[in-house]
Amino acid sequence: MPDTIKRAPISQQPFKVEKPLDLNAIGGMISIQINEKKVSVPLGTTILEACRDNHIHIPTLCHHPDLCIAGVCRVCVVEVDGMRTLQASCSFPITASIKIKTSSELVRKARRNIIDLLLSEHHGECYACVKNKNCELQTLSKEYGVDNMRFGHVKEPVYEVDFSSTSLVRDMNKCVLCRRCIRTCIDLQEVGVLEAINRGDKTQISTFYDKPLQDVICINCGQCLNRCPTGALYSNDPSDEIWRAIDDPQKHVVIQTAPSPRAAIGEEFGYAPGHSFTPELNTALKRIGFDRVFDTNFTADLTILEEGTELLTRLKKAIVDKDTTVKLPQFTSCSPGWIKFIEHFYPEHLDYLSTAKSPQQMFGAIIKTFYAQEQGIDPKDIVSVSLMPCSAKKFECNRPEMDASGFRDVDYGLTTRELAKMIREAGIFLPELPKSGFDEPFGEASGAGLIFGATGGVMEAALRTVYELVTGREVPFENLRIEACRGFEGIKEASVKLENVLPAYSFLEGVNFKFMVAHGTANAKQVMELLREGKLSDVHFVEIMACPGGCLGGGGQPIPTSEEIRKQRAKAIYAEEEGLPIRKSHENPHVKYIYEKFIPEGPCSELSHKLLHTHYKKRGRYII
């Protein structure tokens, strides 16, 4: 029985022939012939996989390693002996001994014709496009030597560009209808904002009733941006305003940088995924003209203390006071995509969310209050920028309630890609810069904050702190590595037994502290369905990140993306973490300082609630 929960139509789902477990069994391997070369592949391998494994390049456009197979662009067609028509190699599983030709005249002509067709309907002005030099259509046309527009070219834009969303821009004039965005939205993220409408020449990608993006249930995760092969989808770029602020001597421009962009920005400068450029980036940001460069990890540490305290309070209320109104498990609230997701899809479950703001917003509130006071700067002159891997952060900092300081707590959310552009604009080659540290008074943060960038990171950081708060001992894992939180499995689940706890937490003695980690809203949905069915009653804490892989796979990260790339980024983050002197949030001296000096009543106190906590909005599925 097909999975009816999956919303993607079967026409856009792959035909999978399960690969045999035992390849040595009879029929396990199939011998085929690719361009006269005899090779042997496991049963069920697609032609595309077989060719790539044998170093034969097949061009693709609608195919994406993260997404189900659509077989709609037809760029990857190959000739299969005995078949009347060409076959899309991405969607053809090998189940018999076949002969394939990947570059015969018929195939070459077909590909060239298809690319010409795509170009004829694509309003591409490459030099004025965000995806210039990182566009798959551009690459294809180069590969196939397109030298003239045989079938014409769109001279004037047809569609109005949708700038309504604070996070995303949709320019359907550049859309080639590969439907990756649809598959991302419906299948990968299970949000379902984008779908094809009309048919024939009027086919286009659209939203519910063709409404602008701000009026539909888009969660701004930006996963579609990362997978759009052209410049049809991109993030709403605030860099012009930021330059203006930098150039304005009146303004004190500060920037906080999140860990994920630092682990990925090298890719924008030609480095393979998996190189972290934190110290070089600090130098670059100062050269660009930011007055102060701070580390978002500092407020990640703060988040852990607030969120951890909140969790312990909830546990106490539930266990000691037998308060049945307390909602458990507590869900993390760092990911703005996830927040909007739950607000739209599970508005009745908002009470399960931690009220702690995300690190970005905590920092915003701290900068325009505590920092402004300490430095004697009028907060109205401060322009607070955040470098994030995330397109939803742009939406988050524009949420009306994010003004605890009396001003916009964070003025601009900047993505990795946009900052890379600013760095290039400033004539800087990032990887070759000298290294420098973060600015005081927040300085270097703990490694616990750093690993927020990978899925499971918040949980790992929280456990390190909560376990130690409760028992007075370090978490019982080698080198503080909580492997149960790591890795890219969709939903992870584990538990730690709390034993010999400190007297203050005697109510937790013997409790099997159970936690879950999910990334990608499709997985979040599964967790929420479990919650609805009452199957999470023994779980205490759940971390959810809207994007696959966590922040390092965010919608503002360098393009392309794939699981392999995300794994490399995670590796870079974990490697950087192990080298840091402080690896537990509660040991961050600057965090201690903030509490002593600025919030003396400690985490979850009244002032902390005013500045560092927030509330959510029951949005529901229809925006009226």
Partner 1 sequence: MENNFKKTKREGVVIFSPYESGSSIKKALEIGRENILFEVRESKMKGRGGAGFPTATKWMLVAASRADKKYMICNADEGEPGTFKDRVLLTEYPALVFDGMVVGGYTIGSEIGILYLRGEYIFMLEELEDFLQSMRKQNLLGKNILGKEGFNFDIAIRLGSGAYVCGEETALIESLEGHRGEPRNRPPYPVNTGYMGYPTVVNNVETLASIPQIITKGADWFKAHGTDKSTGSKLFSVSGDCEKPGVYELPWGTSLNELVEIVGATNTKAIQVGGASGICIPKSQFDRKLSYEDASTGGSIMIFNQSRKMLKVLKNFMEFFVEESCGQCTPCRIGNIKLLEGVVKIEKGDYTFSYINSLKDLSKTMQVASKCGLGQSSPNPFISILENFKDEIFSSNGNGANHA
Q: Which residues are catalytic?
A: 307, 310, 334, 354, 393, 396, 401, 551
Q: Which of residues 141 and 465 has its CB atom nearest to partner 1 in the complex?
A: 141
d(Cα 531, Cα 212) in Å, to the nearest integer?
32
Helix/strand/coil (H/E/C) assignment for every residue in 28-63: CEEEEEECCEEEEEECCCEHHHHHHHCCCCCCCCCC
Half-sphere exposure of 346 (CA within 13 A, CB side): 20
Contact (Cβ atoms closer than 8 angstroms) between residue 421 and residue 436: no
Taking the complex as a whole, the smallest distance from the CB of residue 104 to partner 1 amounts, in Å, to: 11
Q: Which of residues 41 and 362 has its CB atom nearest to partner 1 in the complex?
A: 41
d(Cα 396, Cα 362) in Å, to the nearest integer?
12
Q: Are strands 491-497 and 252-257 parallel, antiparallel or unpaired?
A: unpaired
Geometric angle at alpha carbon 114, from 113 and 116, rounded to 5°: 65
Q: Which of residues 85 and 250 has its CB atom nearest to partner 1 in the complex?
A: 85
Q: Which of residues 10 and 25 has its CB atom nearest to partner 1 in the complex?
A: 10
Q: Which of residues 178 and 591 has its CB atom nearest to partner 1 in the complex?
A: 178
Taking the complex as a whole, the smallest distance from the CB of residue 567 to partner 1 amounts, in Å, to: 29
Q: State which H helix or E strand residue 112 sits in.
A: helix 105-120
Taking the complex as a whole, the smallest distance from the CB of residue 7 to partner 1 amounts, in Å, to: 9
Taking the complex as a whole, the smallest distance from the CB of residue 2 to partner 1 amounts, in Å, to: 4
Taking the complex as a whole, the smallest distance from the CB of residue 136 to partner 1 amounts, in Å, to: 14
Residue 232 to residues 131, 135, 156, 159, 353, Cα–Cα distance (Å): 9, 10, 15, 11, 34
Taking the complex as a whole, the smallest distance from the CB of residue 15 to partner 1 amounts, in Å, to: 5
Taking the complex as a whole, the smallest distance from the CB of residue 187 to partner 1 amounts, in Å, to: 13
Sequence-distant (≥ 6) Cβ neighbours of residue 173 within 8 angstroms: 122, 123, 154, 157, 158, 159, 161, 232
d(Cα 594, Cα 430) in Å, to the nearest integer?
32
d(Cα 314, Cα 330) in Å, to the nearest integer?
8
Residues of the shown chain interacting with partner 1 in the complex, contacts defined by CB under 8 A: 1-2, 9-11, 14-15, 69-75, 77, 84-86, 88, 91-93, 95, 106, 109-110, 113-114, 117-118, 120-121, 150-152, 176-177, 179, 196, 198-203
Q: Which of residues 11 and 24 has its CB atom nearest to partner 1 in the complex?
A: 11
Which residue stretches of 194-330 are H helix?
A: 223-227, 239-247, 259-264, 278-288, 297-319
Q: Which two tokens stand for residue 575?
A: 């490697």
Q: Which of residues 13 and 164 has its CB atom nearest to partner 1 in the complex?
A: 13
Q: Which of residues 199 and 322 has its CB atom nearest to partner 1 in the complex?
A: 199
d(Cα 165, Cα 236) in Å, to the nearest integer?
8
Taking the complex as a whole, the smallest distance from the CB of residue 109 to partner 1 amounts, in Å, to: 6
63: nearest Cα among 47, 80, 41: 47
Q: Which of residues 194 and 524 has its CB atom nearest to partner 1 in the complex?
A: 194
What does the DSSP assignment read for 3-24? -TT--S-GGGS---PPPPS-TT
What does the DSSP assignment read for 465-505? HHHHHHHSS--SSGGG--GGG-S--SEEEEEEE--S--GGG
Taking the complex as a whole, the smallest distance from the CB of residue 118 to partner 1 amounts, in Å, to: 6
Contact (Cβ atoms closer than 8 angstroms) between residue 79 and residue 86: yes
The sheet with strand 491-497 has its strands ordered as: 330-331, 541-545, 512-519, 491-497
Q: Which two tokens stand for residue 342?
A: 């739950």
Contact (Cβ atoms closer than 8 angstroms) between residue 190 and residue 522: yes
